[in-house]
Amino acid sequence: MRIDAGVAKGLEYLHYKMKPPVIYRDLKCSNILLSYDYHPKLSDFGLAKVSPIGDKNHVTTRVMGTYGYCALEYGMTGQLTIKSNIFSFEVALLELITSRKAFDNSKPLTGG
């Protein structure tokens, strides 16, 4: 839980304390580095985008990121918002809690 709390603080910093705000766009467990005392640090800001300011609420961009962590509305429309980071954070949180991958290519697709 300490790792997740640290990642949440990092996202809070990017979203509310940075001027202009930054949308991280590639939050996943492999992009969370841990120090010797399990203090998390976000890494790989290669896909990060500056968030819109004022009355605009999204950035329209080519969909990028890791499958399984990408927010559905971003994947469908290309409209990137801060909420896209929150979706990715929730997926990473579930991975840490359950010790399972967000998307496993080795398992067959089911459905119906």
CA distance 26 to 47: 6
Contact present, 27 and 69 (Cβ < 8 Å)? yes
Residue from 4, 26, 37, 44 carrying the catalytic annotation: 26
In whole angstroms, what separates CA 28 from the centre of its chain? 6
| Residue 90 vs residues 11, 30, 59, 68: alpha-carbon distances, Å | 12, 14, 21, 11
Active site residue 55: no
Within a 13 Å sphere around the CA of 2, how many CA atoms are in the beta-carbon half? 6
Catalytic center residues: 26
